[in-house]
Structure 1
Amino acid sequence: MVRRPARTFLRQASPLLIAGMIAIVFAPDAIAQTESNGGMTNEEAQQYKDCLKLAQLKPEDGFESAIAWRDMGGGEPARHCVAVSLMSLGKFEEAATRLDALAQDSTADRGVVAGMLAQAGQAWMLANNLEFAWRDQTRALEIVKNDPQLWIDRAMVLGMAGEYWESIDDLNKALDLEPDQTDALIYRATAWRMLKSYDLAMTDIENVLAQEPGNVQALFERGNLHRIQGENDLARRDWLNVIENSNGTPVADAAKANIEKMDVRTESE
């Protein structure tokens, strides 16, 4: 159970991974196929997909559209679209509350309900309510145990709470299910780094980069490890690589900030 709410792991994890947390965690067709009325028409299913797309690209317009659709009897898809719009607008607590209610009322199959709870957990995490995030992620895992992404989601919550060993346990379960899951390896490397197990952290990162040499998340984390080991030139090389390949993204901004901090400290030494 989460005992120590803390933002340390969130600050130390790859910003690009964090930015991706508002992604949809289950397919739009899943609710559509399990609606209590026996399913949605192709036109209604397309409306659902369009609503979700608008909710992510233009969340204010998406919210208004989803509310109107809900009021006209749009059911679970419309309610879900409202919540996604709120997440995109940064209203994480309200989005999480709506997703919890949707999961409780849902007539969809168990896998879809688990997806709703997982997304609610992500929203609670972004709202910095780690207790509720852990609760929802655990409920999701009680329904579906063989989805590596659900184990990764809860691992992130545990890491944010400073429970690094428990986080690693969940990441190990994710990797048992999908051994080459790069996000799990990167998160585990971050947890190992927080535990000062730098060799294990580097092993995980090098395994990612062996698969994906241009993975900016892994390059960012390897830069952190090089910096800790005093290998400033190697750290700079990795962070510059991140900036060159993902300029304008959160992870590139973090890499720039790290270089600036390193240079200031180097000058003062």
Structure 2
Amino acid sequence: MLIITPAYRHPNPLLRAGIAALLLCAIGLPAQAEPYQQCVSLVESDPDAAYDVALDWEATDLTGGALHCGGLALTALGLFDAAAKRFHRAATEGQKLGSSERVALLRQSGEAWLLAGQGTEAVAVFTEALAFTPTDPSLFFARARAHDFGGETILAYADVNAALDIDTTHGELYLLRARLNRQLDQLDDAMRDIEAALASNINPISVRLERGLIRYEHGDDAGALEDWRFVEQAGTSPDGTVGAASRAATRFIVALEAPAQEQAAPTLP
């Protein structure tokens, strides 16, 4: 029996969002739906118990449902590398799965590898998924994020461009390419992409944090401060909880406004 309590709550709110997305994604497996739903229903309230149920069921299950439920339980417990392996096993060992179910499981495996801080493994799994659906822009975006996580800016850039060749409507693609263009010192291209991201319907907090960095690199300190002050305020919830973007904006503001004799340039991500 695996006992790790309480259920894991990752300190990074962006990663918490990724965890929540994994936990909400129950795959439509073709058989034994009742034990699968019973197992998944335990994940949020008692992931230890869900993991035990998954282990007991795994010996007789051929659908991949037990492995998937076990992966969700491990995700809730913060054991992301183990979760990634179970999602991958579910994708490759589950019988009677269609391509869409296998892709969904591989996608979850890749996201879990990213939560575990393992970009190389995430790239490999997203590449497997692309073999099933080679024109899925969301998978190119996912692999681009994994490449970026591993510092492979050129490879990330190629994947973002591949995604945008298929679908030009998603602001997150422009936001990531703006970041990559900034890293490549292609600041005019970065500004065009960040304005495209800002014109989309995605959360402006992350967009304006990045635009502040691009403006700073352009030498527009006033514009950078304008964006970061917006993020600093908008990234704080009504109850006073300060988000990660708000904390980053505060660091950048402090570094930029330090007295000249002490000033250190903001450290850019």
Corresponding residue for residue 249 of structure 1: 243
TM superposition shift of 1:150: 0.9
Seq. identity, %: 26
Question: CA-atom RMSD, angstroms?
Answer: 2.8
**Is the aligned partner of 1:179 residue 2:176?**
no
TM superposition shift of 1:19: 5.3
78 and 250 in structure 1: CA distance in 2 versus 1, 3 angstrom threshold? farther
147 and 196 in structure 1: CA distance in 2 versus 1, 3 angstrom threshold? same
**Is the aligned partner of 1:80 residue 2:68?**
yes
TM-score (norm 2): 0.78
Distance 2:231 2:198 in 1: 13
Corresponding residue for residue 64 of structure 1: 49
Higher relative contact order (CA 8 A, sep 6+): 1
Larger Rg: 2
Distance 1:136 1:98 in 2: 12
Corresponding residue for residue 88 of structure 2: 100
* Structure 1 runs, 4 residues or longer, greater than 6 Å off: none
Distance 1:231 1:194 in 2: 17
Distance 1:129 1:102 in 2: 19
Q: Secondary structure at the match of 1:28?
A: coil
TM-score (norm 1): 0.78
Q: Structure 2: 5+ residue runs without aligned partners?
A: 1-11, 237-241, 264-269
16 and 180 in structure 1: CA distance in 2 versus 1, 3 angstrom threshold? farther
Aligned mate of 2:229, from 225, 237, 240: 240
Q: In the alignment, residue 30 of structure 1 is paired with which amino acid?
A: G
229 and 16 in structure 1: CA distance in 2 versus 1, 3 angstrom threshold? farther
The 5-angstrom pairing of residues 75-224 of structure 1 reads 75=61, 76-107=64-95, 108-212=97-201, 215-224=204-213
TM superposition shift of 1:66: 4.0
Q: After superposition, give the CA deviation of every residue in 1:102-138 in whole Å (9 maximum; x if it has no partner).
A: 2221122111111211221222233233322211110
TM superposition shift of 1:214: 5.5
Q: Structure 1: 5+ residue runs without aligned partners?
A: 1-14
Q: In the alignment, residue 150 of structure 1 is paired with which amino acid?
A: L
Q: In the alignment, residue 70 of structure 2 is paired with which amino acid?
A: V
Distance 1:142 1:86 in 2: 27
Higher helix share: 1
TM superposition shift of 1:257: 2.0
